[in-house]
């Protein structure tokens, strides 16, 4: 794996299929600049091809900010063309997260604002620190979310609640996010990564082909009618049913041992 300027990547010692990607600009509250977007694209492109990976945890350094969105200091004075070029990098990075083949879990360790909240929304699951807050304040500076906020949020919580949140541009507490089902769990900052890794390790024990098929079935099925969605599920079901891993799953169950997955 490469070394990057603005992010780090670690492989879990307990479950080798779990990797943790950490945003690493703590002095800027992990604000997203052009270099971070480029680093994310390079890292995620490499991880997609990693044969060991089963679950990706996305978190950030420090205890204050998960990501406070785009680096407005870098954007100050940008021309429209420069802004567009930068945003193209942002779009590519976020698309890679949304379409990552395996589950992605956000461990939100602090403020997740603007693009930072959209980063968390792009993940499959979210665990948030009890002191953290989330927000999409773009409307207060004359724009709207541009990497998924207006689409992902109302797919995660009631539409009316999402619209109010977007219109007002205010912050949401960790407890409120849990009440709405926007996050899967809340943890104290000292326990956040351990709790997230527990979930990741539990997921990472399961058949890799099945994990990919579940993600495809849910994500693609939600965008269509129920009959089409059921056909999408059935296609993915038979990919798993006709796989070597399905045979191994049955065999290991009957032999009372842990399965050895091949991912095929």
Provide the whole-model pTM: 0.95
Both 179 and 213 in one domain: the answer is no
> Does the active-site annotation cover 244?
no
Both 181 and 231 in one domain: the answer is no
Both 180 and 229 in one domain: the answer is no
Both 171 and 223 in one domain: the answer is no
Both 119 and 131 in one domain: the answer is yes
Q: Which of 118, 164, 191, 255 is catalytic?
A: 118
Both 182 and 61 in one domain: the answer is yes
* 65-67 and 104-108 strand pairing: unpaired
pLDDT reading at 2 higher than 90: no
Write down the residue that tokens 């326990």 correspond to. Answer: 191
pLDDT tens digits, 131-170: 999 999 999 999 999 999 999 999 999 999 999 999 999 9
Range(s) of the domain holding residue 199: 7-204
pLDDT tens digits, 40-99: 999 999 999 999 999 999 999 999 999 999 988 888 888 999 989 999 999 999 999 999
Write down the residue that tokens 């461990």 correspond to. Answer: 107
Give the DSSP letter of residue 102: S
Q: Which of 63, 138, 188, 248 is catalytic?
A: 138
What CATH code is carried by the domain that includes residue 80? Answer: 3.90.226.10
Q: How confident is the model at residue 263 (pLDDT cuts 50, 70, 90)?
A: confident
Whether residue 130 contacts residue 107, with contact meaning beta carbons closer than 8 Å, is answered with no
**In this structure, is residue 228 part of a structural domain?**
yes
CB neighbour list of residue 243: distance below 8 Å, 6 or more residues apart: 209, 264
Both 181 and 238 in one domain: the answer is no
**In this structure, is residue 1 part of a structural domain?**
no
**In this structure, is residue 140 part of a structural domain?**
yes
Both 180 and 148 in one domain: the answer is yes
Give the DSSP letter of residue 17: T
Both 14 and 94 in one domain: the answer is yes
Count structural domains, the chain. 2
Q: How confident is the model at residue 1 (pLDDT cuts 50, 70, 90)?
A: low
**In this structure, is residue 263 part of a structural domain?**
no
Q: How confident is the model at residue 220 (pLDDT cuts 50, 70, 90)?
A: very high
**In this structure, is residue 260 part of a structural domain?**
no
pLDDT tens digits, 176-213: 999 999 999 999 999 999 999 999 999 999 999 999 99
Both 200 and 222 in one domain: the answer is no
> Does the active-site annotation cover 91?
no
């Amino acid at each position: 794996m490469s070394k990057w300027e603005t992010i780090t990547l670690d492989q879990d010692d307990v479950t080798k299929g779990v990797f943790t990607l950490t945003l690493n600009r703590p002095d800027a509250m992990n604000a997203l600049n052009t270099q971070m977007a480029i680093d994310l694209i390079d890292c995620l492109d490499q991880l997609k091809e990693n044969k060991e990976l089963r679950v990706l945890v996305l978190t950030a350094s420090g205890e204050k900010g998960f990501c406070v969105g785009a680096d407005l200091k870098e954007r100050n004075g940008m021309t429209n063309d420069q802004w567009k070029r930068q945003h193209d990098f942002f779009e590519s990075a976020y698309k890679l997260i949304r379409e990552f083949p395996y589950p992605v879990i956000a461990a939100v360790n602090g403020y997740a604002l603007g693009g930072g909240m959209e980063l968390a929304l792009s993940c499959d699951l979210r665990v948030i620190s009890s002191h953290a807050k989330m927000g999409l304040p773009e409307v207060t500076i004359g724009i709207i979310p541009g990497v998924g906020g207006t689409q992902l949020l109302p797919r995660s919580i009631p539409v009316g609640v999402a619209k109010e949140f977007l219109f007002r541009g205010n912050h949401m507490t960790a407890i409120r996010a849990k009440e709405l089902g926007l996050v899967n769990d809340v943890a104290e900052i000292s326990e956040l990564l351990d709790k997230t890794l527990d979930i990741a390790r539990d997921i990472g024990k399961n058949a890799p082909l099945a994990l990919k098929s579940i993600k495809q079935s849910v994500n693609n099925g939600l965008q269509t009618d129920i009959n089409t969605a059921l056909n999408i599920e059935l296609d993915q079901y038979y990919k798993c049913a006709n796989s070597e891993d399905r045979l191994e799953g049955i065999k290991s169950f009957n032999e009372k041992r842990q399965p050895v997955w091949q991912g095929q």
